[in-house]
Amino acid sequence: MEPLILYFVLFFPGVYNLPFSGNMPLTESIQFSLFRELGRTVTYTLPSLALLWYLISDRRGFTALAEEKPKKTDIFSLSMGLPGLIIIGLGISFLALHLPGYQGLAPPPRIEAPAGGLGWTVMAISCLLTGYLEESFFRYYLITFFERQIPNAVIRIALSTVLFSACHMYEGPWGILNAVLAGVLLSILFVRFRSLHGIAFAHGCYNIFVYIMGIFSF
C-alpha cells in the first residue's frame, strides 16, 4: 500500500487534468522558467527525495544511505545507460518527425532551452535531482520493495515501467513510448548491476541532453 500512496502523492497529481476526452490538445511545447524550475526544485524535488529516503532508511534501520554509496558498478550502468537513453530519445524523435500525426499520434512536446548561465545551472541541478528522485523511487524503491512479494524480476521491471510511463502521459503517445523503453533499460541495468548512482546520473544527464536539443527545436 505504501508504494501506491507514495506514487500517487509524488508523481501523479496532474493526471486528472489530462485531455483524455480529446477536447483539449496535448502540450505542444514546454517553456523553461527559471523561477518555476527553482521553485519546483526547492518545494517539490528536494522534499520528495528526502521523504523517500527517510522511508527507505527507516525501514532498513537507517543503513540504506551508507550501503548505497557510489561503487564501480555505477560506471558500467552509466556508460550503458546514458548512450542507451540518448539513442531511444533520438529514435523516438526521428519517428515522430517522419510520422507526424500518424494514426492520430500527436508529436511529443518541444522543450525550450534555458537562457543564460544561471538558467543552465538551475536546469542542470534540477535535471540531476529529478533523475535521482525518479530512479530512487521507480528503480531502487519499487524493485527492491517487491523483491519478496514478487520474486520474478521481469514482473517487477514491468510494474516499475508501467508506473514510470504512466506519469509521462502529459507528453503524449510518443512520450509514453519513450518512457516505456527508457524504463525497461534503466530497470534492467539496476537489476543487473544493483547500481543507483549510475542510472540516476544517466537519467539526469539525459534530461540535460533534452534541453540541449531544445536549442535546435525552437
Convert the pLDDT of each residue in 50-94 to its tens digit.
Answer: 999 888 886 655 566 666 788 888 999 999 999 999 999 999 988
Scored b (16 or more CB within 10 A) or e, 159-177 reads bbbebbbebbbbbbbbbbb
Report yes or no on 196 lying in a domain. yes
- What contacts 24+ positions apart, CB below 8 Å, involve 145-152? 145/2, 145/3, 146/3
pLDDT of residue 101: 56
Average of pLDDT values for 175-199? 94
For residue 82, what are the domain limits? Answer: 73-218
Which pLDDT tens digit goes with each residue over 140-180?
Answer: 999 988 888 888 999 999 999 999 999 888 777 888 999 99
Q: Indicate the number of domains in the chain.
A: 1
Prediction pTM value: 0.87
Distance of alpha carbon 113 from alpha carbon 217, whole angstroms: 9
Q: How far is CA 56 from the centre of its chain?
A: 19
Judge whether 57 lies within some domain: no
Grid cell, residue 11, equals: 508523481
Whether 130 is covered by a domain: the verdict is yes
